[in-house]
Structure 1
Amino acid sequence: MPATDASEGRDRERPGRDALPVSRTDPAPGQPLRSSAFRWFLGGQSISLLGSAMSPVALAFGVLEVTDSAAWLSAVTTAALVPMLATLLLGGGIADRYRRDTVLRLTSLGAGLTQAGVALLLLAHQHPAFLLPLSGLNGVFQGLTRPALRGIVANLTAGRGIQRASSLLASVRNATQILGPTVAGLLTASVGGGWAIAADAVSFLLAAACFARMSLPDLLPRTEGGPTMLGELREGWSYFSSQSWIWAVTSAFAVFNALNRGVWQILGPVIAHDTIGAEGWGLVLSARGAGALMASVVMVKLTVRRPMGPALASMSLGALPLILLGVGASILWLAAAAFVAGMVAEFFTVVWETVNNTHIPERLLSRVGAHDEFWSSVPIPIGQLSTPFLAAFFGTAAVAVTGGGVAAVAMLVPLLVPSLRKIEINRNGD
């Protein structure tokens, strides 16, 4: 469905609930916490996110403890990322074709079992090479999970409730980002990262139990001769590629994500390992979570009529921690910059999720979201694998500072698209 801007696309095909309606067993789709299905979803996500917030710190320092090698750390993280990217688009098709609550409970169960295997290997102090297959399988489950998460909010609420639900989920996610890294840092420094990964495995299994209590409406029966999975995947690409306001943002984040993940997640722990330690790095990550939590709480009530301009402009500040990391800033300056980066990133996230759920037809949400995530994430492995070699050649400081500067500029480029600046969030309806 070609459209020059979001409002045109909305007028031609309302993102209503024709394909999968909001559950009417709960009386107030505009008030998400009154919905039992949303409460079970929120509970499951809360448990899962707490475990997942512990995982990056525990895995990073667990690998560094055995190898003291940034190259091995990038290999382990990339081993999960590549299969995740490879299955994202398929996951979008599955999540739009089948019930999203069923998809979530099955993928959470699989992710829990694979993380349990990772935990056992770390506790046994095995070489990170043995982590690669399990990390890859975990990435597959992530790739199948993410598109379902992108689309399920539109099944659980409607109208003004979409932003409220997105903000509540963001608040929970950010609260776990405060607690999780700090706990993981303390556990890693005391008893080892394997126990934090074990907690993550348990959290996935508990989340699967919560998702099993959700009950979304059954999908409408498919007519004989209806579109195949391949046809539906083509339809998702056609819609994504026709919307300049979507792919402009996706392209900008392709640059930002590659630089941010390469510098922050690879060089960050390496620098911290020699300076502020696992506890200090955990505190810096928690500061980012605190900033994000503040933004998500505010966004429960705040509505900006045309939000994409402010959201993208403020995202340029998200590159500040990379620059400070490169110049060797103290833990206080790093924590302050991480706090600001968390605020602006969460402001953008809530805005973007609300705009997507408002302006993209519900039946296409997971497929379009999968394309958004796929194309914005494809360069990440390049950033993660190349960063250690670039740092060895040009120096850590030069790579971090340059990467931060380029990432900041990338966030401003989509503002050149007129249709993006005109996108509005509907203020009507509760």
Structure 2
Amino acid sequence: MTLAMLLPYRPVLGQPVLRRLLPGLATSALGDGLALVAVTWLALQLAPDGQRGTWTAFAVAAYTLPGAAGTVLLGRWLGGRSGAQLAGWDATVRAAALGAIPVAHLAGVLDVGLYVVLLAVSSLLHPWGSAGRFTLVAELLPQRHHLAANALLGVFGQAATIVGPPLAGLLIAWVGAVWVIAVDAASFAVLAVSYRLVVLDREAAAGRCLNGPAGAGPSRTSGFRIIARDRSLLGLLSLSFAFFFLFGPFYVAMPVHVTDDLRASAGTLAAYYTAFGVGSLLGGLLTGHLRGWPLRTTLAGIVALFGAALLPLGLGAPVVLSLPAFALAGLVWAPYQPTATALFQRRAGTVDLPRVLAANGAVTVLAVPLGTMLGGPATALLGARPTLLACAVTILALGLAAATAVARPGPAARNTERTGPAGPHDPQTTGPPDQPGPHDPPARVDVPDRVRPGAT
């Protein structure tokens, strides 16, 4: 890794609050990497014979989907909180709920039903926690460093998907899946303490409590309403949902393609996922260098290139060609979420940002599971390889349509999508005053294109 690759991340690493949080974030990311294997493995062990597939699906869904309900049900109480508070509460709930799993095991009361319930509780605040993490970035850093900070937080997760699963396999063989879940719980406890220290420090610096009045927050659906009023954000949310939804069938069709079409082993499937993970890690590290690129154009290009990179799989290319193409898909995939989050950070002020990001997370968290559900009947009807080809072609078409919408001139093109300093009275400005650093290019102003809902 060269010094030039790390250059965009120096301001992020130099921010005192974020620097103190990074060890906790890295620890919890590793815990999530372990959970990729442990959650499903423990479900298989606890489920009755003949029902393992059903309960494993329930466990995977419970570890992600309840957060969508939490976004709506808890919006009135959480919408006005600071970024560190939201992220800290999410980490606390995750640590407590996941920690209850090994406790229930020791007490002899853990069955598959209780296990799924505890997983569901652990995910209840997840969209709020993610929103809080990126809101804290907007609170602490000037706008021009948001993309690099978002990317750095994503790199932890991308690295964990490479290191976590094989490490989880070793730990499961040694101590059992329930104790790997315990390690995941402990990692979130470390993160919760880290966020709590940040909250205390910021309260002391401000000379007051950062909490708003209990129960005095905005309505439960205010984040959705803010997005609905902003064509740019509504288009971005629509693009993200469609992108993730169309990728969902890959989780069904890909294993079937490897086993039935390629006549290959599980090791070949693992090689594809490892190649994707390595590509996404490199893509995450490169994301910080994209800060001068127009955000909407970048997002449309990512979607189109991702679809193109998946075409070799759908066209039945041999492994020697489709494997590096899948790694390229991972490299292209990695910048999408940091770039999309940076656009949210620019369009919404810090007061609205937690609600807006939580609403975005509630919608997008449903996209991949819904697409995966579609993958079952599509694979059965069309076959694995045609399903992969259909997904690749539609993702490519989605990206091209979004790029066309971005390029279309309109009266709103006179609005500014800033990559440089923002006006001091602009209500959409987030982060502290933006002062140029010694390694930064001259400030510039990009002119965006407002697009219709459904495009970015």
TM > 0.5 fold call? yes
The 1-side partners of 2:39 and 2:370 are apart by 20
The 2-side partners of 1:411 and 1:31 are apart by 32
Q: Which residue does the alignment assign to 1:317?
A: 305
Counterparts of 1:137-156 in structure 2 under 5 Å? 137-156=121-140
The 1-side partners of 2:109 and 2:326 are apart by 32
Q: Which of 70, 88, 93 lines up with 2:71 in the alignment?
A: 88
Shift of 1:140: 0.7
1:206 aligns to 2:182 (yes or no): no
What TM-score, normalized by structure 1, do the two folds share? 0.77
The 1-side partners of 2:114 and 2:375 are apart by 23
Shift of 1:419: 8.3
What TM-score, normalized by structure 2, do the two folds share? 0.73
Q: Which residue does the alignment assign to 1:426?
A: 419
CA RMSD, 1 decimal: 3.9
- When Rg is computed on C-alpha atoms for both structures, the one with the higher figure is 2
Of residues 243-252 and 165-174 in structure 1, the stretch that sits farther from structure 2 once superposed is: 165-174
1:261 aligns to 2:254 (yes or no): no
Q: Which of 282, 289, 299 lines up with 2:277 in the alignment?
A: 289
**In the alignment, residue 276 of structure 2 is paired with which amino acid?**
R
**In the alignment, residue 85 of structure 2 is paired with which amino acid?**
T
Shift of 1:196: 3.7
Shift of 1:108: 0.9
Q: Structure 2 vs 1, CA of residues 262 and 31 (structure 1 numbering), >3 Å: closer, same or farther?
A: same
The 1-side partners of 2:184 and 2:406 are apart by 43
Q: Which of 223, 232, 245 lines up with 1:236 in the alignment?
A: 223
Shift of 1:97: 0.9
Q: Secondary structure in 2 aligned to 1:378?
A: helix
Q: Note the alpha carbon deviations across 1:211-248, whole angstroms, 9 max, x for none.
A: 22213355888999x994344x5553333112222111
8 Å CA contact 2:85, 2:132 repeated in 1: no
Q: Which residue does the alignment assign to 1:26?
A: none
The 2-side partners of 1:419 and 1:246 are apart by 17
1:33 aligns to 2:19 (yes or no): no
Q: Note the alpha carbon deviations across 1:44-102, whole angstroms, 9 max, x for none.
A: 21111111122223334554576686544333222333311111245665554123322
Q: Secondary structure in 2 aligned to 1:213?
A: helix
Q: Which residue does the alignment assign to 1:109?
A: 92
Q: Which of 28, 44, 55 lines up with 2:35 in the alignment?
A: 55
Of residues 59-68 and 374-383 in structure 1, the stretch that sits farther from structure 2 once superposed is: 59-68
The 1-side partners of 2:270 and 2:101 are apart by 21
Q: Which residue does the alignment assign to 2:329?
A: 341
Structure with a larger share of its residues in helix: 1
8 Å CA contact 1:92, 1:148 repeated in 2: no
Identity %: 19
Q: Structure 2 vs 1, CA of residues 398 and 47 (structure 1 numbering), >3 Å: closer, same or farther?
A: same
**5+ residue gaps in structure 2?**
1-8, 422-435, 438-456
Q: Structure 2 vs 1, CA of residues 300 and 87 (structure 1 numbering), >3 Å: closer, same or farther?
A: same
Of residues 65-74 and 350-359 in structure 1, the stretch that sits farther from structure 2 once superposed is: 65-74
8 Å CA contact 2:236, 2:340 repeated in 1: no
Q: Give the length in aligned residue pairs.
A: 398
The 2-side partners of 1:269 and 1:64 are apart by 18
Q: Which residue does the alignment assign to 2:144?
A: 160
The 1-side partners of 2:153 and 2:408 are apart by 25
Q: Structure 2 vs 1, CA of residues 349 and 82 (structure 1 numbering), >3 Å: closer, same or farther?
A: closer
Q: Which residue does the alignment assign to 1:249?
A: 236
Q: Which residue does the alignment assign to 1:414?
A: 402
Q: Which residue does the alignment assign to 2:25?
A: 45
**In the alignment, residue 23 of structure 2 is paired with which amino acid?**
G
Shift of 1:316: 2.9
**In the alignment, residue 21 of structure 2 is paired with which amino acid?**
F
The higher relative CO (CA closer than 8 Å, separation ≥ 6) is in 1
**In the alignment, residue 239 of structure 1 is paired with which amino acid?**
I
Q: Which residue does the alignment assign to 2:58?
A: 75
Q: Structure 2 vs 1, CA of residues 74 and 329 (structure 1 numbering), >3 Å: closer, same or farther?
A: farther
Q: Which of 358, 365, 370 lines up with 2:353 in the alignment?
A: 365
The 2-side partners of 1:91 and 1:288 are apart by 35
**In the alignment, residue 373 of structure 2 is paired with which amino acid?**
L
Q: Structure 2 vs 1, CA of residues 157 and 424 (structure 1 numbering), >3 Å: closer, same or farther?
A: same
1:181 aligns to 2:165 (yes or no): yes
8 Å CA contact 2:256, 2:384 repeated in 1: no
8 Å CA contact 1:181, 1:283 repeated in 2: no
**In the alignment, residue 36 of structure 1 is paired with which amino acid?**
P
1:216 aligns to 2:202 (yes or no): yes
